[in-house]
Structure 1
Amino acid sequence: MKSLKKKRRIQIIVAAVVALVIAAGLIGYGFRDGINLYRSPSQLATEPPATGEVFRLGGLVAEGTLVRGSGETVSFSVTDGGATVPVRFTGVLPDLFAEGQGMIGTGSMQGETFVASEILAKHDENYMPREVINSLKEQGVYEDPNG
């Protein structure tokens, strides 16, 4: 009688472990395309991304580089003071998008150009994404206005 109870317990434990492994695998599979790593222009210069890798690029929109093309296509450059990356975006830019302002784009590299599928801009004059501030501080470009 005891061996039957022991076998049942082992079977239940094995089934629970298998269920946990399957659940962890499904979670990992679901996140594989949902995690976009942040990179600054200087990081791109030293460590180029893999072909087709989707990531987030952030920095300041370089002054004098904003060019509106045909239709909704816009090109500009993003800098962190150490390196500059050309960016191409087709779509509607956020209202607060401007030269000299912080931005983060999601996309991938095509040759030497970052092709963005999404652009986020700061939401007011005091906000800048934390990742952009950190990369600008590393390059010695950013000074905190709040002290």
Structure 2
Amino acid sequence: MNPRRKSRLSIVVFVLLGVAVAAALMLYALRQNIDLFYTPSEVIQGKNDDPSTRPEVGQRIRIGGMVVEGSVVRDPNGLKVRFNLNDIGPEITVEYDGILPDLFREGQGIVAQGVLKTPTVLEASEVLAKHDENYVPPDLSEKLQQVHKPMGVSDLRGESERDRQEKALSSDKSEDIK
């Protein structure tokens, strides 16, 4: 191998080694900031019922489930709220100090992000209320109707006037054949 190729090969090896070390350091630094998603059953029993996969106390996690009916307790002197969250199994207690979303209520699905204080208590830093995926805000619905009507779309499901005309023509043709 001539010296020129040898120097090029060593440069390529050093660059690849540098990229690998940088990627490893970046992943190591981000490891502490990763929020893993759990359900209340997975927090208690572990993922796939494996106790070794349970989150540790002090770990940042996201937990999603339904707010248990009758479990919401509000502090009369502040914004602190405490409620239970469950899926199909055990319950987790969530403590939150802040303003809850407008869609938050008992029996509603939520996602809470925070730090696990004890194996069954999460101190939440953020609570997100989930809503029906078919929900369209009224303002947006009006704007969509204004935009889609001139284009010939009669509703938000995407059926255009042309589709309706073709459907009517095909049904008329089938009636004429009979």
CA contact (8 A) 2:92 2:122 kept: yes
Runs of 4+ in 1 over 6 A off after TM superposition: none
CA contact (8 A) 1:108 1:114 kept: yes
Under a length normalisation based on structure 1, what TM-score does the superposition of the two structures give? 0.76
Under a length normalisation based on structure 2, what TM-score does the superposition of the two structures give? 0.64
Q: Which residue of 2 aligns with 1:62?
A: 68
Q: RMSD of the TM alignment (CA)?
A: 1.9
Rounded Cα–Cα distance in structure 1 between residues aligned with 2:6 and 2:91: 64
Range moving further from structure 2, 18-27 or 52-61: 18-27
Which of the pair is proportionally richer in helix?
A: 2
Q: Which residue of 2 aligns with 1:86?
A: 93
Rounded Cα–Cα distance in structure 2 between residues aligned with 1:12 and 1:56: 44
Same amino acid, percent of matched pairs? 40
Determine whether 1:107 maps to 2:107.
no
Determine whether 1:98 maps to 2:105.
yes
CA contact (8 A) 1:58 1:103 kept: yes
Rg: which structure is higher?
Answer: 2
State the shift of 1:36 in Å: 1.1
Q: Which residue of 1 aligns with 2:57?
A: 51
Q: Report SS of the residue matched to 1:32.
A: helix
| 1:20-39 matched pairs, under 5 angstroms | 20-39=19-38
CA contact (8 A) 2:109 2:131 kept: no
State the shift of 1:43 in Å: 1.2
Rounded Cα–Cα distance in structure 1 between residues aligned with 2:4 and 2:84: 68
Rounded Cα–Cα distance in structure 2 between residues aligned with 1:38 and 1:12: 42
Instruction: Specify every segment of 5 or more residues in structure 1 that has no aligned partner in the other structure, as ranges.
Output: 128-147
State the shift of 1:63 in Å: 0.6
Instruction: Specify every segment of 5 or more residues in structure 2 that has no aligned partner in the other structure, as ranges.
Output: 47-53, 136-178
**Count of equivalent residues:** 126
State the shift of 1:95 in Å: 1.1
Determine whether 1:11 maps to 2:10.
yes
